[in-house]
Amino acid sequence: MDWRTVKKYLTEPAGATPPAAPSHKGSQPQVITPYTQVIDAMLRADLTMKASVVYERLVAEHGYDRSYQRVKLYVAQARPRLAAEAGTEVATERMRGLHRRFETTGPSTSGAASCPSTPPPSACWTGSCTTASSWSPRASPSA
């Protein structure tokens, strides 16, 4: 940084900040744009379809090769709009969490659930041993 720039900001009032860069939002087409009509049609057929199902169908049937995150964000934005267009009211309890994808990996339970005596290396087990258990590799191990 040039000394003149430092001097300029030191001599200006305390609230002075450097100018903000121009926003590039909207200057590039979204990668999901070619698939929005397909996604909208899927959601019109079943408004409560999970984003993970939409993603899997896009990959299998339409050759979508981008991230699940883009589909999830678009579905979360499109679902309320399509519900309003259709004039239907979907219970908020049914709508809540439909954009989330949950995958559990852990011990297989045959009949009765059981807890392992030790968690897998560098993982933290969460959940109740009497209902369902799952582990998260991002969670910090509990001591």
Task: Report which listed range, 5-14, 89-98, 119-128, is most confident.
Answer: 5-14
Q: Are 55 and 72 in contact (CB under 8 A)?
A: yes
Would you put residue 88 in left (φ > 0), alpha (ψ -120 to 50) or beta? beta
- Name residues whose C-beta falls within 8 Å of residue 65's C-beta, 6 or more positions apart in sequence: 59
Angle among Cα 9, 11, 12 to the nearest 5 degrees reads: 65
Please give the torsion angle defined by the CA atoms of residues 117, 119, 103 and 128, in that order, rounded to the nearest 10 degrees.
Answer: 50
- At 54 the pLDDT is 96
Across the chain, which distance is largest between two alpha carbons, in Å? 73
**How much of the chain, in percent, has pLDDT values that exceed 70?**
58
Among 49-63, 84-98, 129-143, where is mean pLDDT lowest? 129-143
